[in-house]
Amino acid sequence: MTYSINRQLSLREILQQSAEVIMRNFDIAFVQIWTMNREINSLELQAHGELSTLCPESDICIHIGKLLASRVVAEGQTIASNSIPDSPLLIDASWARHHNIIAYAGLPLFVENHLVGVLTVFAGTLLLERTLSPLAGSAVTLAQGIMRKETEEALQESEERYRSLVESSDDPIYIVGRNLKYLFANEKLLSRLGKSLDELVSQDYSQFHSPEGTQEFSAKVEQVYKSGKPVSYEHKSHRDGRVFISTLSPIINPKTEAIIAVNVISKDITEHKRIEEALRNSEKNFRNIFRFVPESLIVLSDQMKVLNSNKAFEEIIRRYAPKINISEEELRGKIISELRSHFRRKKHGFIEIKKVSEKISVDDEKKELILEFDFAGKIFAAEEEDIVVSLKDITERKRTEEEIARLAKFPSEDPEPVMRLNHDGTVFYANEACDSLLVDWGWNRGEKVPEYWRNILTEVLEKRTTRIVETQSGGNIYSFFYVPVVEAKYVNLYGRDITELKLSEKALLNSEHMLRKLQKRTEEIVDEERRRISQVIHDDLGQHLTTIILDLESVKLEMLKQGKNPLSIVIQRSMMVQKIDDINMGIQALVNRIREIATELRPVILDDLGLSAAIRWKVRQFKEHSNIHFLFKSVPVDISLNPEQNMAFFGIFNEALTNIARHAEASNIDIKLIQTPQSTTLQIDDDGQGMTMQTIDSNYSLGIYGMRERAQSVEAKFEINSEPGKGTTITVKL
Q: Where are the domains of the chain?
A: 11-152, 169-274, 285-393, 398-497, 508-601, 605-733
pLDDT band, very low/low/confident/very high, at 8 (cuts 50, 70, 90):
low
Residue 46 CA, chain-centre distance (Å), reads 51
Q: How far apart are CA 692 and CA 329, in angstroms?
A: 51
Q: Which amino acid is at 254?
A: P
Integer-rounded Cα radius of gyration of the chain:
46
Report whether pLDDT(622) > 90: no
Task: State the pLDDT confidence band at 601, using cuts at 50, 70 and 90.
Answer: low
| Of 589, 571, 591, the residue nearest 579 (C-alpha) | 571
Whether residue 358 is predicted with pLDDT greater than 60 in this model: the reply is: no
CATH node for 398-497: 3.30.450.20
Residue 592 CA to residue 602 CA, distance in Å, equals 15
Average pLDDT over residues 209-234: 92
What does the pLDDT read at residue 684? 93
Please tell me which residue, 655 or 84, carries the higher pLDDT value. Answer: 655
Q: How far apart (Å, rounded) are the C-alpha atoms in residues 310 and 289?
A: 9
By CB atoms closer than 10 A (0-12, 13-18, 19+), residue 156 is exposed
Give SS3 for 267. Answer: strand
SS3 44: strand
Residue type, 551: D
More confident residue, 104 or 354: 104
Determine the Cα–Cα distance for residues 336 and 376; give it in Å rounded to an integer.
Answer: 15
Residue 36, judged by CB atoms within 10 A of its CB (0-12, 13-18, 19+), counts as buried
**Consecutive H or E run containing 423:** none
Q: Look at residue 2 in the predicted model and tell me its pLDDT.
A: 44
- Equal CATH topology for 169-274 and 285-393: yes
At the topology level, CATH places domain 11-152 in Beta-Lactamase (3.30.450)
- SS3 label, residue 246: strand
Which CATH class, in words, describes the domain spanning 285-393? alpha beta
Q: Is pLDDT at 52 greater than 60 in this prediction? A: no
Helix (H) or strand (E) holding 711: helix 702-713
The pLDDT confidence band at residue 357, using thresholds 50, 70 and 90, is very low
* Count of positions (residues) in the chain: 734
Angle at which helix 328-342 crosses helix 311-324, to 10 degrees, equals 110
The CA–CA distances, whole Å, from 157 to 203, 259, 366 equal 22, 15, 82
The candidate with the shortest Cα–Cα distance to 4, out of 112, 140, 118, 145, is 145
Contact 10, 31 (CB under 8 A): no
CA–CA gap between residue 410 and residue 390 (Å, rounded): 37
CA distances from 649 to 185, 612, 635, 687, 731 (A): 40, 10, 15, 21, 10
Please report which confidence band the pLDDT of residue 539 belongs to, taking 50, 70 and 90 as the band edges.
low
Q: How far is CA 309 from CA 41, 295, 331, 392, in A?
A: 72, 11, 14, 14
Q: Please tell me the CATH code under which domain 169-274 is placed.
A: 3.30.450.20
Supply the angle between the helices 643-659 and 611-623 in degrees, to the nearest 10.
Answer: 20
Of 38, 59, 177, give the one whose Cα is nearest residue 117.
38
Nearest to 651 by CA among 496, 527, 560: 527
- What is the predicted pLDDT for the residue at 365? 45
Instruction: Flag the least confident range among 19-23, 196-200, 425-429, 510-514.
Output: 510-514
| Among the ranges given (23-27, 163-167, 315-319, 431-435), the one the predictor scored with the smallest mean pLDDT | 163-167
Contact 67, 91 (CB under 8 A): yes
The topology under which CATH files domain 605-733 is Heat Shock Protein 90 (3.30.565)
Distance of alpha carbon 290 from alpha carbon 82, whole angstroms: 91
As a whole number of angstroms, the distance between CA 690 and CA 725 comes to: 5
The string of DSSP codes covering 197-227 is HHHHTT-BGGGGS-HHHHHHHHHHHHHHHHH
How far out from the chain centre does Cα 235 lie?
Answer: 17
Strands (DSSP E) found in 666-723: 668-675, 680-686, 717-722
Check residue 664 and give its pLDDT.
Answer: 81
What is the rounded average pLDDT of the residues 57-61?
46
pLDDT exceeds 80 at position 283? no
Determine the Cα–Cα distance for residues 494 and 195; give it in Å rounded to an integer. Answer: 64
Residue type, 273: K
d(C-alpha 640, C-alpha 634), whole Å: 14
The CA distance from 250 to 724, in Å, is 42
Selected residue with higher pLDDT from 480 and 287: 480
**Per-residue pLDDT at 64:** 40
* pLDDT top residue among 565 and 505: 505
Assign 247 a pLDDT band (cuts: 50, 70, 90): very high
pLDDT (tens digit per residue) in 298-342: 888 777 777 788 888 888 888 888 888 888 888 888 888 887 777
pLDDT tops 60 at residue 59: no
